[in-house]
């Protein structure tokens, strides 16, 4: 596999990981405040439809984005009303939102456009176009003639929708809000011990509604990106379980923003591999997986080392990335050394993974994560429990 193929695969991974990342960060805010939200799927779906519908009608993608966010925030407020104000079951409320969005989007789409529950194709100002960074090339032929750094800049860093860059910027912003602001401290405290927050004279209801609204805004961005950035219009059930995958990524990341980025990139990578390779040899697939593990492990190791150097982290935080980096290097570099005659490699090359398996990989990984095979993940202690103020 050549360098350009790896870059193109990484580029696709980033594009496909963006809606997952936005939805994952949405769930992070909500669940950190003690509100479990499995309605991420429905909010993304509603935002995707209304953003596409209004972008087509007005021929302005920013109006579509705004309406999509409003639709998502409306469903978030509905969830907050049911689970915070009326102290209803948060899981049932989330399921109801998913059902409501699933049926509502198809019925309204058929009523408005009469195209079988979809919107007309978007083009021109009704879509988020690719944003080419200064000095970057947009033609594959020109990129292939550049040096490796130029190829990374032109192929991987440049040429994405503006929402991709916004999603990446939201990750450090989320970290800063949660861990470096008074609002973030109070938000995390509400998810752990709401009674203590209430005793301090801070409104638990207000904080939880604020978290739910932030969740709605981020889900709105995710849904709008699906319909107006990643695709060119709305189709029925186009979220395709991404809300549930985002929840799995959130559990995998143990409710931390930087780890959420790595988890979402993993799901995006598996999705990109399934889309690009219809039938792939087992050895090639393993090489891709371990290469991805090496890259993510190295990035996380550097980020955590910087945090420790600044006195904002503990040495034990390096353990996970170091293990991932070591395992990836062991299999990527050590396999040829352990198999000098190439017999094992030839055997693995003869095993071809079917396209159905590749397309199911993100969902298989979701089941594995939710089954608890990724280690102990402890949610906020007050999560899922309505707060009743003592008289």
Q: Which of 369-382 are b and which e, b meaning 16 or more Cβ less than 10 Å from the residue's Cβ?
A: beeeebeeeebbeb
List pLDDT tens digits, range 88-103. Answer: 899 999 999 999 999 9
pLDDT at 266 over 60: yes
pLDDT at 378 over 90: no
Among the listed residues 49, 50, 38, 31, the one whose alpha carbon sits nearest the alpha carbon of residue 97 = 38
List pLDDT tens digits, range 335-356. Answer: 565 555 556 666 766 777 777 7
With the C-alpha atoms ordered 155, 159, 164, 165, is the resulting torsion angle positive or negative?
A: positive
List pLDDT tens digits, range 115-156. Answer: 888 999 998 899 998 888 887 776 666 666 677 787 778 778
- Quick check: helix, strand or coil at residue 188? helix
CA distance linking residue 269 with residue 273, whole number of Å? 6
pLDDT at 252: 83
Tell me the pTM: 0.86
* 219-228 average pLDDT score: 95
pLDDT at 5 over 90: no
List pLDDT tens digits, range 155-181. Answer: 788 888 999 999 999 999 999 999 999
Judging by beta carbons within 10 Å of its beta carbon (0-12, 13-18, 19+), is residue 336 exposed, middle or buried?
Answer: exposed
How many other β-carbons are positioned within 10 Å of the β-carbon of residue 248? 23
pLDDT at 138: 65
pLDDT at 323 over 80: no
Percent of the chain past pLDDT 70, that is, above it, reads 83
pLDDT at 48: 96
Helix H or strand E segment including 349: helix 343-349
pLDDT at 113: 92
Domain boundaries, the chain: 18-130+148-253
pLDDT at 294: 73
Mean pLDDT for all residues in the chain: 84
């Amino acid at each position: 596999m050549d360098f350009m193929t790896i870059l193109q695969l990484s580029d696709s991974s980033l594009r496909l990981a963006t809606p997952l990342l936005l939805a994952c960060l949405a769930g992070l805010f909500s669940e950190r405040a003690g509100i479990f939200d499995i309605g991420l799927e429905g909010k993304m779906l509603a935002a995707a439809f209304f953003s596409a519908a209004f972008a087509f009608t007005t021929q302005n993608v920013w109006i579509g984005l705004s309406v999509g966010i409003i639709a998502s925030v409306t469903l978030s407020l509905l969830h907050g009303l049911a689970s915070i104000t009326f102290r209803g079951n948060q899981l049932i409320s989330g399921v109801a939102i998913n059902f409501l969005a699933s049926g509502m989007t198809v019925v309204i789409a058929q009523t408005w456009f009469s195209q079988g529950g979809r919107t007309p194709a978007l083009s021109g100002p009704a879509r988020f176009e690719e944003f080419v960074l200064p000095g970057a090339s947009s033609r594959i032929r020109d990129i292939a003639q550049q040096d490796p750094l130029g190829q990374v800049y032109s192929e991987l860093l440049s040429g994405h929708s503006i929402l991709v860059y916004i999603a990446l910027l939201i990750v450090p912003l989320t970290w800063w809000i949660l861990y470096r602001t008074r609002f973030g401290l109070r938000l995390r405290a509400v998810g752990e011990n709401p009674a203590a927050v209430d005793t301090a004279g801070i409104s638990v209801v207000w904080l939880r509604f604020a978290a739910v609204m932030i969740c709605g805004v981020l889900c709105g961005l995710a849904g709008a990106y699906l319909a107006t950035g990643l695709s060119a219009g709305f189709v029925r059930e186009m979220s395709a379980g991404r809300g549930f995958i985002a929840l799995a990524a959130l559990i995998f990341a143990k409710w931390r923003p930087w780890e959420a980025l790595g988890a979402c990139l993993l799901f995006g990578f598996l999705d990109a591999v399934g889309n690009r390779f219809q039938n792939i040899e087992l050895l090639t697939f393993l090489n891709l997986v371990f290469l991805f593990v090496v890259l993510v492990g190295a990035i996380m190791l550097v980020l955590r080392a910087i945090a420790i150097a600044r006195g904002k982290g503990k040495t034990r935080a390096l353990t996970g990335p170091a293990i991932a980096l070591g395992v990836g290097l062991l299999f990527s570099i050590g396999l040829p050394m352990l198999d000098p005659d190439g017999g094992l490699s030839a055997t693995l090359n003869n095993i071809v993974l079917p396209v159905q398996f590749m397309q199911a990989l993100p969902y298989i990984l979701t089941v594995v994560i939710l089954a608890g095979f990724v280690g102990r993940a402890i949610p906020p202690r007050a999560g899922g429990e309505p707060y009743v103020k003592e008289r």
